[in-house]
């Protein structure tokens, strides 16, 4: 049964109620899961109204201070800003919550912001699903900008891109080899590239980096019919460039909506998550079958050594599963 008073409080934008709902969403207790799903179904007419901005960048690029600065800027402009995260490596402890709040201290204290650290532990798929549901919860609570942060390692970028309307990649200024920390394929996911720390001693390096990236993107990326990812410089420290970043995000949203691609992307994301969850459930069932558990290590060894074809091994696993 959905908790109706809690729902009303979420819809009224009470942060404490929102935090409780997200705790239910993140719980692994089956009764909590059932309750969370029932509540999300009730809330669904009130979801979808935010712009969902995924933000990625390698550690050290200044992601936290960038999110804090643009978050405060957006609140000044009258927005309500929620910050979520996808970090499959995180362990929820008193310390890490505190860490999350202190690293965005001013934003965390602001009434217009809601900051939630990553759901803890588990598989990337599980963490991502819970964050995707939390997006719906914060939207129902009236937040109209949702920033979803990724740790910039592993597969978490793809997961975050799959739940964002627009995916922003933060880069460091610096010449040539200094720029190489970026993971394979991440540049290709970006709808917008921002060279952060464009201030002080690094201002010139940032300007050069912007030019280099523009040239490289021009060569390497297919010209989308509708959007070429812009490269901008910004500084979380001085606030320089933040209005331009937000303006580009707005231009992206406008273009996608005009072309009918905004809603399409969301629909594809939702259908993709449906199949990912169905597949996860089916494969979990298979792996949990005692006969599969008994055969799997031997079959994997045979496939690795080439003694058995993947097709043959798959057939045996399915046979073991069906009993």
Which range of residues in 41-49, 70-78, 145-153, 247-255 is near a second copy by CB under 8 A?
41-49
Q: Which residues of 223-307 form beta strands (DSSP E)?
A: 231-233
Distances (CA, A) of 216 to 21, 134, 220, 229, 317: 44, 36, 6, 12, 46
Taking the complex as a whole, the smallest distance from the CB of residue 66 to a second copy amounts, in Å, to: 21
Binding mask 260-279 for a second copy (x = CB under 8 A): ------xx--xx-xxxxxxx
Q: With contacts defined by CB under 8 A, name the span among 7-15, 111-119, 127-135, 254-262 that binds a second copy.
A: 127-135
Name the residue nearer to a second copy (CB basis): 103 or 266.
266
Q: How many residues are listed for the chain in this entry? A: 323
CA distances from 46 to 8, 43, 129, 138, 223 (A): 12, 6, 19, 10, 36
Q: Rounded CA gap, 303 and 322, in Å?
A: 21
Residue in the block written with tokens 């309750």: 35
Write the interaction track for a second copy spanning residues 182-221; mark x where CB under 8 A is met and - where it is not.
xxxx-xx-----------------------xx-xx-xxxx
Residues 234-263 that bind a second copy (CB under 8 A): none
Binding flag, residue 300, a second copy (CB under 8 A): yes
Stretch that binds a second copy, among 1-9, 44-52, 94-102, 239-247 (CB under 8 A): 44-52
The residue from 72, 147, 192, 299 that contacts a second copy (CB under 8 A) is 299
The footprint of a second copy on residues 5-34 (CB under 8 A) is: none
Does position 290 interact with a second copy (CB under 8 A)? The reply is: no
Question: Is residue 181 a contact point for a second copy (CB under 8 A)?
Answer: yes
Residues numbered 129 to 158 that lie near a second copy (CB under 8 A) are 129, 132-133, 136
How distant, in Å, are the alpha carbons of 29, 54, 136, 190, 235 from that of 69? Answer: 37, 16, 24, 20, 9
Segment (H or E) for 30 = helix 30-43
Whether the CA torsion 121, 122, 124, 130 is positive or negative: it is: negative
| Rounded Cα distance, 55 and 160, in Å | 8
Options 23, 28, 44, 89; binder of a second copy; rule CB under 8 A: 44
Q: Is the dihedral of CA 27, 32, 37, 39 positive or negative?
A: negative
Q: Give the separation between CA 14 and CA 36, rounded to whole angstroms.
A: 17
Segment interacting with a second copy (CB under 8 A) among 63-71, 111-119, 148-156, 177-185: 177-185
Count Cβ atoms within 10 A of the Cβ of residue 149 and give its class: 0-12 exposed, 13-18 middle, 19 or more buried.
buried
Tokens of 69: 């600065």
Secondary structure class of 202 (helix, strand, coil): helix
> Site for a second copy (CB under 8 A): which residue of 205, 286, 289, 295?
286
Nearest to a second copy of 78, 306 (CB atom): 306
Contact region with a second copy (CB under 8 A), list: 63-71, 112-120, 143-151, 310-318: 310-318
Secondary structure (3-state) at 177: helix
Select 54 or 71, whichever has its Cβ closest to a second copy. Answer: 54
Binding site for a second copy (CB under 8 A): 37, 40-41, 44, 47-48, 129, 132-133, 136, 176-177, 179-185, 187-188, 212-213, 215-216, 218-223, 266-267, 270-271, 273-279, 281-283, 286, 299-300, 303-304, 306-315, 317-318
């Amino acid at each position: 049964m959905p908790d109706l008073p809690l729902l009303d409080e979420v819809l009224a934008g009470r942060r404490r109620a929102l935090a409780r709902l997200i705790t239910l969403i993140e719980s692994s207790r089956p009764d909590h899961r059932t309750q969370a799903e029932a509540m999300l179904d009730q809330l669904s007419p009130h979801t979808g109204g935010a712009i969902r901005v995924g933000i990625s960048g390698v550690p050290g690029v200044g992601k936290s201070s960038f999110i804090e600065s643009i978050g405060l800027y957006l609140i000044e402009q009258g927005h309500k800003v929620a910050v979520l995260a996808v970090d499959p490596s995180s362990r929820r402890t008193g310390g890490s919550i505190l860490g999350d709040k202190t690293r965005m201290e001013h934003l965390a204290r602001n009434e217009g912001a809601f900051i939630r650290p990553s759901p803890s532990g588990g598989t990337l798929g599980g963490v991502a699903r819970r964050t995707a549901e939390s997006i719906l919860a914060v939207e129902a609570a009236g937040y109209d900008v949702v920033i979803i942060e990724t740790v910039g390692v592993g597969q978490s970028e793809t997961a975050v891109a799959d739940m964002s309307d627009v995916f922003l990649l933060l880069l460091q200024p610096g010449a040539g080899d200094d720029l190489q920390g970026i993971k394979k394929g991440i540049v290709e996911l970006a709808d917008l590239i921002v060279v952060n720390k464009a201030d002080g001693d690094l201002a010139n390096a940032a300007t050069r980096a912007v030019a280099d990236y523009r040239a490289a993107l021009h060569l390497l990326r297919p010209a989308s019919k509708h959007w070429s990812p812009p490269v901008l410089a910004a500084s979380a420290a001085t606030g320089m460039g933040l209005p331009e970043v937000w303006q580009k995000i707005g231009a992206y949203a406008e273009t996608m909506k005009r072309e009918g691609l905004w809603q399409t992307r969301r629909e594809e994301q939702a259908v993709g998550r449906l199949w990912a969850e169905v597949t996860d459930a089916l494969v979990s069932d298979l792996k949990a079958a005692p006969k599969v558990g008994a055969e799997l290590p031997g079959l994997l060894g045979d496939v690795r050594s080439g003694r058995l074809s993947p097709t043959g091994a798959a057939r045996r696993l399915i046979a073991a599963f069906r009993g």
